[in-house]
Every structure is written in structure tokens, then in C-alpha cells.
């Protein structure tokens, strides 16, 4: 018997042929779903121009790192002072995978773009396969469990939330360790195994190294499971069932200490608590509203326009077909322990994803949620984007639909089997992505002037701005020189970019010369207004940077084309 009281056959050793089939199948689905990206792996970054460019810099930085110190502090951005990378958005497993693969395939710009994209896309088949084995374990030795587990893998990995995150945040995209954490933890409880408990702790740590929010979600899962055992058994767990979760989190914490300690120390010295815990939330209406990547996105655009957060963090669509299937299975007879467990988990994490107060179609209601307390707790307050807890909602949704699929397969009537087949096709279509944005990623010829200069210096990119800082990071991979701008997840200290003189170019030239900033790259604004998400929305000139025409008159131009003007400071 499993901890959920569902019959279970012998799990045995991992079947490599089955694993390859599962990975292969989900890989084919990944190629089909994301062909617009796959067709341009080496020439465009996944997603519109935003944090994806910062993520690419992270991958390139890891590929070029010479020692572990390069992951703690760098002067390659925020030159000349440099910046701590404690709060940089590194997806550590992903960037190390890029670093390793670059040793084999090379570190040319186009190669790094391809490796970065491939490692992002890998989260879909790998995450689906991990979820497959979790669902297969919990379904037990019952007919149709492989089909049910495949449904669970699809729901967990190919949902619209994960697609949206893949276009914006590499670290949030790395979901593959969460199902393995749950699997190893539940098996550790069943078998009273220290080895499996350590494996669970390691998976929690690896998940946190992708996105540190996932460390908190692992903790919340353990709390949920304790609560489930209390309700299911009508008494609080004792002995191993009570000790195991404490040991699991303690083990994960110990493994993460080299990462946590610098974060805590940095947080004591700098402002790291940002707003967002009542903004980037799971809106109740968005659970059923078609997101921007949906085939029927236009019918959900009104709701998404009203939401308090941005579209990619607000994408929490559960799927109308999925909800209909859950409604059907709740009316059927049969064992539903796993179904009720999954529904409880969905509700538990949906409440966390709701943030400080319930949001309905952009309206903030007076109904406060537990997030109002979490947002005030030290360290917990860093989890300022509650909607990311949806990753666990989809995990439990996958389990619920796996149970529904197995129950439906028990019906022998042709009409029921046909209805199930139609439902599975509709599930696939309901999550099939469209409107997949990409950012062209090539090196401008103007940057060759900078790349070919062998002296030591920095580069100032203008105009300034958050998106522009991300773009400068990507282009710095082309020329390899430190840049004055650059972004991390938290703005920790002021540098030259924050105190740049712009009203007096003679004074600015003296300031840049003293800081050894030899070149200025003026990025030309677009010739036309652009739609949201298009590359052209970057580089609109900011009056705070002075008069653009004055720069070309004051400094020496060394290159000019339709994209940029390169000026020499000294």
C-alpha cells in the first residue's frame, strides 16, 4: 500500500527502454508544439525581448567562467564597479548544462544561442517524463496507468503557464525536479528509507537551484502532505511520518547553505524586498480565461487586459476540457483517493498562488488569503510572485487527470472509450501554443569595432532602461567587453549607470574617461510604433539620457548603420 492507500505493484528498477520511449515521445511533441522556435534555434532567443536576453547572458557567462568566483561577482556588467551575482537569476542546472555542452560544441555566439534554447526546451520532455513516473507510481498496479501517467506528464509540462515562463524566465522554466522530489519523498515515507529521503532532499535542492521559489514550494508541499495525513487518518502523524519532512527540509537546506548564506548576508545590507505579492497573482477569472498563447486567445484578451500583473505571470489557465473531465469523474463510482488528494493539493497551492487577497478579473476583493502573512515574513517576503506556485497546481492537476483517465479506461462501452479519446485530443488542442514570440539574436557588424580593440575598457549603451539593459547584456556577448549597464533580479547597489552625467557631455566625457569607458553605442529607436512584444519597442530615446543628436557631434563616430552608431570616448 502506498501512503495514499492505493494498490501498488512492484515498482522495480527503472526501465531504461521505457524511459527512452517516454522521453522520445515527449521530445517529438516538444518539436511539434514549438516548431517556430526549433526552426530558428541558433538565430533567435525564445520569447519576446525581455528577461530572456538577461537569461542568455547568464548562459554565456557560465560558458566563459574561469572559476567559481565568476559566479559570485562580476565586472562584466555594471562596469567599472561590478555587481554581486548573489541575486542574479541563474538557473544553475541549465547554465551548467550550457557550459558543459559549449566545451563540446564550441562557444560561438550562434552556438550559445542554440544551446541556450535547447536547454530551455528540454524542460518540457524532461519535466513530462519526471511527472510520468510520479503519476505512474501513485496510480499503482492498475490497467491503463501508463496512459494516465502520460496525460499527467503532458498537463504538468505543456501547460500554458510553463510555455509563458519559457518565453521570459529560464529559472522558473526548470520544473523537472519537482515531480522527482515528490516521488522520492512519498517513496521514502512508504519504505522508511533514508536513502530515498536524501534523494528527495537533493531534488528539492536542485529545484531551488533552478528557481529558489521552488525551495518554498517543497516546504509547502510537505506541510500540505502532513495536513492530508491528519485529515485522512483523523490524527496527526507520528514517528517517521513526522520526522521525515523535517529531515528532508533540513537536508535540502544544508545542501543549499553555500547559496543561502550569501543571499541572507546580501539581504541584510541591501534592499531586496520588492513589491508584487498582491500584483503578480493567480486571478480567479484567469483560471478559465484563454491566455495569450491559446488558439482562442482573443476571447480571453479582455480579462487579461484587466489583470493586475503582466500576462506571463498571470497565465494560470487550467483548461476548460480538463475541468469538464474532472467534473465528470467526480460523478463516477470507483476509488478516488488519489483524485481527492490531487484536488486538495490544487486548492492548497491555488490559494498560495492567489497572493495576499483574492483577485477576480483584476478586481482586488477584501477577502485576504494566507499570502498576506507570508508577504510579511522575513526571507519568505522574497517570494514576491505568488502566481508561480501554479507549477504545483499543475502537478496536482496532472495527478487528478491521470486518475480520471484510468477510471475512464475501465468502462468497456465503445461510446465511453470514444468520448475519452475525444477528450484527450481536446486536451492536447486546448494546451497547443500559438503566438510564440522570439527575439532575433545576431551580432551587428558595428560591434566588431569594439570586439577587435584589445585594450581594457568598458562600453556604455544608450538609451538606458530595464529592457535596454537586458539587450546590452546579450550584445555584450558579441563583443566580449564589460558594459556599464546590466540587470540582475535585485538592484543591490548604485554604479556608474545610475550616476551618469547626461546634461553636460564634456563633463560626461571626463567621467567616462576616468572610468575607462572607451565606447558609447547609440542604439537607434525604431522607425515605427511597435506592438507589445516586438523587438522595436526597445531603444526608444529617453530624455533623461540627453539629446541623442548631440552625442554624434561631441564624440568621434567609428561606425554607423541602421541599428546603431558607435562612438569613441577617448
- State mean pLDDT over 119-141: 97
pLDDT for residue 525: 81
Helix, coil or strand: residue 565 = strand
Please indicate, yes or no, if residue 388 is contained in any of the structural domains. Answer: yes
How are beta strands 73-74 and 556-560 bridged, if at all? unpaired
Question: What confidence tier does 123 reach under pLDDT thresholds 50, 70, 90?
Answer: very high
Give yes or no for a contact between 544 and 502, defined as CB atoms under 8 angstroms apart. Answer: yes
How are beta strands 556-560 and 564-568 bridged, if at all? antiparallel
The helix or strand, by DSSP H or E, that contains position 367, with its residue range, turns out to be strand 363-368
Q: Provide the phi-psi class of 516: left if phi over 0, else alpha when psi is between -120 and 50, else beta.
A: left
Q: Is the pLDDT of residue 536 over 50?
A: no
Task: Please provide the DSSP assignment of 288-310 as one string.
Answer: TSPPTTSTTGGGTHHHHHH-SS-
Q: Looking at the structure, do residues 253 and 386 belong to the same domain, yes or no?
A: yes
Q: Looking at the structure, do residues 353 and 474 belong to the same domain, yes or no?
A: no
Please indicate, yes or no, if residue 115 is contained in any of the structural domains. Answer: no
| Residue at which a domain ends, from 430, 451, 479 | 430
Q: Looking at the structure, do residues 414 and 486 belong to the same domain, yes or no?
A: no
pLDDT digits (tens, 9 = 90+) for 398-417: 999 999 999 999 888 888 88
Alpha-carbon gap, residue 142 to 407, rounded angstroms = 10
Of all residues in the chain, what percent are helix, strand and coil, respectively (each to 5)?
60, 10, 35
Crossing angle between the packed helical segments 390-409 and 177-191, to the nearest 10 degrees: 70
Nearest in space to 392 (alpha carbons), one of 383, 379, 404: 383
Domain count, the chain: 2
Please indicate, yes or no, if residue 9 is contained in any of the structural domains. Answer: no
Task: Kindly state the cell numbers that stand for 113.
Answer: 544561442
Please indicate, yes or no, if residue 450 is contained in any of the structural domains. Answer: yes
pLDDT for residue 381: 76
| Residue at which a domain ends, from 395, 430, 465 | 430
| Residue at which a domain ends, from 430, 455, 472 | 430
∠ CA 124-219-199, rounded to 5°: 65
Crossing angle between the packed helical segments 51-64 and 466-479, to the nearest 10 degrees: 30
Alpha-carbon gap, residue 260 to 489, rounded angstroms = 15
Locate all alpha helices (DSSP H) within 234-290, ordered by sequence.
240-269
Q: Looking at the structure, do residues 205 and 319 belong to the same domain, yes or no?
A: yes
Question: What confidence tier does 46 reach under pLDDT thresholds 50, 70, 90?
Answer: very high
pLDDT for residue 463: 95
Q: Is the dihedral of CA 318, 324, 325, 329 positive or negative?
A: positive
Q: Looking at the structure, do residues 331 and 465 belong to the same domain, yes or no?
A: no
Q: Looking at the structure, do residues 481 and 403 belong to the same domain, yes or no?
A: no
C-alpha of 322 from chain center: 23
Please indicate, yes or no, if residue 437 is contained in any of the structural domains. Answer: no
Q: Looking at the structure, do residues 252 and 349 belong to the same domain, yes or no?
A: yes
C-alpha of 62 from chain center: 18
Alpha-carbon gap, residue 48 to 56, rounded angstroms = 13
Q: Looking at the structure, do residues 425 and 532 belong to the same domain, yes or no?
A: no
Q: Looking at the structure, do residues 302 and 266 belong to the same domain, yes or no?
A: yes
Q: Looking at the structure, do residues 416 and 466 belong to the same domain, yes or no?
A: no
Give yes or no for a contact between 502 and 85, defined as CB atoms under 8 angstroms apart. Answer: no
pLDDT for residue 492: 78
From residue 420, give the alpha-carbon distance in Å to each of 160, 203, 415, 434: 22, 34, 9, 25
* Structural domain boundaries enclosing 483: 443-568
pLDDT for residue 3: 55
- Highest mean pLDDT: which range of 262-276, 314-328, 531-545: 314-328
Q: What is the pTM of this model?
A: 0.93
Please indicate, yes or no, if residue 277 is contained in any of the structural domains. Answer: yes
Q: Looking at the structure, do residues 506 and 556 belong to the same domain, yes or no?
A: yes
DSSP single-letter state for residue 483 = B
Q: Looking at the structure, do residues 416 and 511 belong to the same domain, yes or no?
A: no
Question: What confidence tier does 527 reach under pLDDT thresholds 50, 70, 90?
Answer: low
Task: Kindly state the cell numbers that stand for 168.
Answer: 521570459
Main-chain dihedrals φ then ψ at residue 74, nearest 5 degrees: -145, 150
- State mean pLDDT over 201-226: 97
The residues facing 460 across adjacent strands are: 520
- Highest mean pLDDT: which range of 255-264, 383-392, 485-494: 383-392
pLDDT for residue 417: 84
Amino acid at each position: 500500500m502506498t501512503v495514499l492507500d492505493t494498490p501498488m505493484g512492484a515498482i522495480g528498477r527503472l526501465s531504461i527502454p521505457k524511459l527512452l520511449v517516454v522521453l522520445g515521445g515527449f521530445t517529438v511533441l516538444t518539436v511539434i508544439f514549438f516548431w517556430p522556435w526549433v526552426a530558428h534555434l541558433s538565430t533567435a532567443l525564445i520569447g519576446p525581448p525581455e528577461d530572456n536576453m538577461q537569461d542568455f547572458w547568464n548562459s554565456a557567462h557560465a560558458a566563459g567562467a574561469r572559476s567559481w568566483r565568476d559566479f559570485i561577482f562580476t565586472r562584466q556588467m555594471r562596469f567599472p564597479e561590478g555587481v554581486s551575482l548573489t541575486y542574479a537569476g541563474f538557473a544553475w542546472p541549465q547554465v551548467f548544462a550550457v557550459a558543459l555542452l559549449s566545451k563540446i560544441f564550441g562557444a560561438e555566439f550562434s552556438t550559445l544561442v542554440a544551446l541556450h534554447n535547447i536547454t530551455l526546451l528540454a524542460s518540457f520532455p524532461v519535466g513530462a517524463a519526471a511527472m510520468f513516473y510520479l503519476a505512474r507510481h501513485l496510480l499503482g498496479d492498475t490497467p491503463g496507468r501508463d496512459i494516465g501517467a502520460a496525460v499527467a506528464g503532458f498537463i504538468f509540462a505543456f501547460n500554458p503557464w510553463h510555455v509563458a515562463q519559457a518565453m521570459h524566465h529560464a529559472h522558473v522554466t526548470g520544473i523537472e525536479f519537482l515531480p522527482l522530489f515528490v516521488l522520492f519523498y512519498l517513496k521514502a515515507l512508504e519504505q522508511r528509507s533514508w536513502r530515498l529521503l536524501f534523494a528527495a532532499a537533493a531534488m528539492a535542492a536542485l529545484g531551488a537551484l533552478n528557481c529558489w521559489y521552488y525551495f518554498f514550494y517543497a516546504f509547502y508541499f510537505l506541510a500540505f502532505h502532513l495536513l492530508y495525513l491528519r485529515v485522512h487518518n483523523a490524527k496527526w502523524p507520528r514517528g517517521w511520518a513526522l520526522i521525515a519532512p523535517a529531515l528532508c527540509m533540513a537536508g535540502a537546506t544544508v545542501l543549499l547553505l553555500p547559496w543561502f548564506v550569501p543571499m541572507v548576508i546580501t539581504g541584510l545590507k541591501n534592499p531586496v524586498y520588492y513589491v508584487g505579492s498582491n500584483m503578480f497573482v493567480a486571478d480567479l477569472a484567469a483560471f478559465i480565461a484563454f491566455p495569450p498563447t491559446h488558439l482562442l486567445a482573443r476571447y480571453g484578451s479582455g480579462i487579461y487586459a484587466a489583470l493586475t500583473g503582466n500576462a506571463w505571470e498571470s497565465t494560470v489557465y487550467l483548461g476548460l476540457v480538463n475541468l469538464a473531465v474532472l467534473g465528470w469523474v467526480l460523478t463516477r463510482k470507483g476509488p478516488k483517493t488519489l483524485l481527492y488528494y490531487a484536488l486538495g493539493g490544487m486548492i492548497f497551492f491555488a490559494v498560495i498562488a492567489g497572493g495576499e487577497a483574492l483577485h477576480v478579473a483584476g478586481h482586488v476583493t477584501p477577502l485576504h488569503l494566507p499570502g498576506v502573512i507570508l508577504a510579511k515574513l522575513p526571507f519568505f517576503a522574497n517570494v514576491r510572485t505568488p502566481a508561480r506556485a501554479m507549477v504545483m497546481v499543475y502537478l496536482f492537476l496532472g495527478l487528478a487527470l491521470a486518475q480520471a483517465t484510468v477510471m475512464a479506461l475501465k468502462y468497456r462501452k465503445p461510446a465511453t472509450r470514444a468520448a475519452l479519446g475525444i477528450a484527450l485530443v481536446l486536451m492536447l488542442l486546448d494546451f497547443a501554443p500559438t503566438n510564440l514570440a522570439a527575439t532575433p539574436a545576431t551580432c551587428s557588424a558595428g560591434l566588431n569595432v569594439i570586439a577587435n580593440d584589445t585594450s581594457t575598457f568598458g562600453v556604455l549603451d544608450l538609451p538606458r532602461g530595464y529592457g535596454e539593459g537586458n539587450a546590452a547584456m546579450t550584445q555584450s556577448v558579441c563583443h566580449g567587453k564589460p558594459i556599464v549597464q546590466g540587470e540582475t533580479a535585485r538592484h543591490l547597489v548604485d554604479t556608474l549607470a545610475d550616476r551618469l552625467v547626461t546634461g553636460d557631455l564634456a563633463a560626461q566625457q571626463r567621467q567616462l574617461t576616468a572610468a575607462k569607458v572607451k565606447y558609447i553605442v547609440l542604439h537607434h529607436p525604431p522607425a515605427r510604433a511597435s506592438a507589445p512584444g516586438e523587438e522595436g519597442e526597445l531603444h526608444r530615446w529617453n530624455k533623461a539620457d540627453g539629446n541623442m543628436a548631440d552625442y554624434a557631434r561631441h564624440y568621434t563616430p567609428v561606425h554607423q548603420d541602421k541599428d546603431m552608431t558607435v562612438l569613441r570616448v577617448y
